[in-house]
Chains A and B, each alone.
Chain A
């Protein structure tokens, strides 16, 4: 490569009390290059990109942009130099529209009408369907991400940093995104792409830098390196693929008979005539594009939203009218997608969050009085069993990283020995080894005779662990089919084909 580099990092070091987040990290990105940054949670990827984006100041080392020294003091300076960033956690206001949210992030925003037109233009040019007038609170996670991406694209960046952008997208949506990114790359925009989905990186990225415990442990050309080799460089050891031991399926535990549910919010998705049976020992994988009824299905099964009589049967008896506590005591448990604010209360401690769903089955309460020491012990057991990295159960849920909190949330339900467990996006934004351990826990649960429903947008995950696969499309569930031997095309058709793309060409 003879092109002069766009961005050069040399010897960047950043230490926090007790931990060196980045230790002598160097890398080079040329214009138009798609550069992957690989590493487990806590490997220092976030700290590194935060230094590039001006959120964190390095202790030592230098950065150069177009050959000139580059020390962004704040994100504004980084943006002015042409760095755009799409964060893994969205910073959007639920009550405002897409256009208003984008205007808030801009230095000198044009009038809303003009901006809406720009948003439409960019979203069509790059095939990211998004209506500027919709209220963000009613958007799915996938759609929210498009808002963040378009927000960056409007600023015409020279370097686009993307933190795990595909974790909420379907194969078709990922293809759209990759087209967008390849188009940007062809136009000369460099992309720094953080992910742990190795196949994606192999198909998209020109080069990769692998971080482990804050240090660069290797560079490679992803298209010429196997996913397994990259994963092992990342983890520093052999990777365990989830495996199942037995394959005995028992009685029908959960029986949905024509489940209909009105949408709780104006822009949500109603559930339409969903019928499916899940047996003991079985994992049913449910795929589908975000916003096609996943949240509503979980709410109907967890008991947050009640259903009409005769629609949801557990071991033959009607539970559609029971609330979450009654369902839990029967053994029907759930873990929603949104970790912060839905599955867990962000400002409450892990002990309190263990109490949140564990009170009944773990006998943490007697006649309404709560047994806090027992809740602490329960939280400690989850932390130990699921390897949750935190100083202790007295820490607030929001102080944990996404992957660790996810391990805690899934662990909390798995530890309660459910008979039916419904999880939505169990490994969203979780690194490879943590995701593997969560999947293994779900498989072990099924092997021990539970019926497990995994709702996910990660098809690789669903193919890896499901016995049968079905897809949600506009609130309807397709006929479940054995997961083994399903082709990507067949899956795509079950999901309603190129669902997300239709809007873009209208």
Chain B
């Protein structure tokens, strides 16, 4: 008989090995899936994982990695702080949208004035937008004990409606011949989140994501607040006994995740996307949840996981266009990644025993 036995201590080795094993298992079973669809499994895997990095057109795909990875990492870092403390902000997508709207609206309010102050103002506005949107579920939770999962998730759909209204109304480009969507910020120098090095994909959002990683790492490893977050997640009563104020912690974690999601939205709208449109958001806020867990809620892990997720997105696009793999197959492939991660994750705290169980 095979059975699971709780380890006396969580295995350090396994907490790092689990993501690697998950990626390998996803390659194997993804390959089987692609084979079943009549595609060459090795070529498919190679297209997804190799082409974007080292293929013939890697010069085009590599910057894309940064562009797609940065918002994922930025949002996931914020989410991971809350997740570690058992505070579940599922509505980063909505906060991302609100950050983009606030940021874009601030920039457009000054159009066509040129000033070096405009972009920093937009950054503040974007952060504020995301923060406000996250404060709604946070305040409702601490005042009335509502469930932050439901409230933050529902606010995503409110934000989407708000986005549509902005794209069709207040922020619509007056010179846009009636097409929905705002002016393109890429054509407005003071508000454009341009590449810092041309052709690298490196924009201010990437810098912000890296800063967030370092900041989160320091916070969790060395600061009292990070310790409070970890203790609250591990043992809420012990945290309260040690002097953590649960209300303030909820406000901080929700606020921080909203703020970072808002920043991600602002950098996206001012840079790679350029304008507020009805379908501006593409699910970064939801994918970031996967990234946060894939990265074991650890800042460095999230950085790697964000890169990996971006890779499967870009590789998936290539596989779709070059090999004709259906989009659904790529989504299944990405789903497998999380599935295997959760499965292997079990072995961090448990070990497999063949034969009879023995308790120490």
Contact = CB atoms under 8 A, between A and B. Distances in A.
Partners in one complex: yes
Interface stretch (A35-43, A321-329, A435-443, A483-491): A321-329
Contacts of B9: 395-396, 399
A242 to B, nearest CB: 27
Contact of B225 (A16, A324, A341, A368): A368
A355 interface: yes
A58 to B, nearest CB: 10
Interface stretch (A118-126, A342-350, A463-471): A342-350
A343 B243 contact: no
Interface residues of A, number: 39
Given A56-B359, A57-B358, A370-B222, A336 B234 contact: no
A369 B241 contact: no
Nearest to A298: B241
B238 A345 contact: yes
A343 B358 contact: no
Interface in B204-261: 222-225, 227, 230-231, 234-235, 237-243, 245
B237 A348 contact: no
Interface in A57-104: 57, 73-74
Interface string B68-85: 000000000000000000
Interface in A310-367: 323-325, 328, 334, 336, 338, 341-348, 352, 355-357, 359, 365
Given A73-B356, A341-B235, A336 B241 contact: yes
Contact of B234 (A324, A347, A355, A357): A347
B43 interface: no
Given A359-B224, A370-B227, A396-B8, A16 B360 contact: yes
Contact of A355 (B10, B227, B237): B227
A348 B237 CA distance: 14
B323 interface: no
Interface string A380-404: 0000000000000001101100000
A356 B242 contact: yes
B235 A346 contact: yes
A479 interface: no
B237 to A, nearest CB: 5
A345 B243 contact: no
Interface in B307-360: 356-360
Contacts of A370: 222-224, 227
B356 A57 contact: yes
Contacts of A345: 231, 234-235, 238-239
A32 interface: no
Interface in B127-164: none
A46 to B, nearest CB: 9
B292 to A, nearest CB: 19
B359 A323 contact: no
23 contacts: A55-B357, A56-B358, A57-B356, A74-B356, A303-B243, A304-B241, A324-B243, A325-B243, A341-B238, A342-B235, A342-B238, A343-B241, A344-B238, A348-B230, A348-B231, A355-B227, A357-B242, A359-B224, A369-B223, A369-B224, A370-B223, A370-B227, A398-B8
Given A55-B358, A323-B245, 17 more contacts: A325-B242, A325-B243, A334-B241, A338-B237, A341-B235, A341-B237, A342-B237, A342-B238, A344-B238, A345-B231, A345-B238, A352-B227, A356-B242, A359-B224, A365-B224, A369-B223, A370-B223
Interface of A: 16, 50, 55-57, 73-74, 302-304, 323-325, 328, 334, 336, 338, 341-348, 352, 355-357, 359, 365, 368-370, 372, 395-396, 398-399
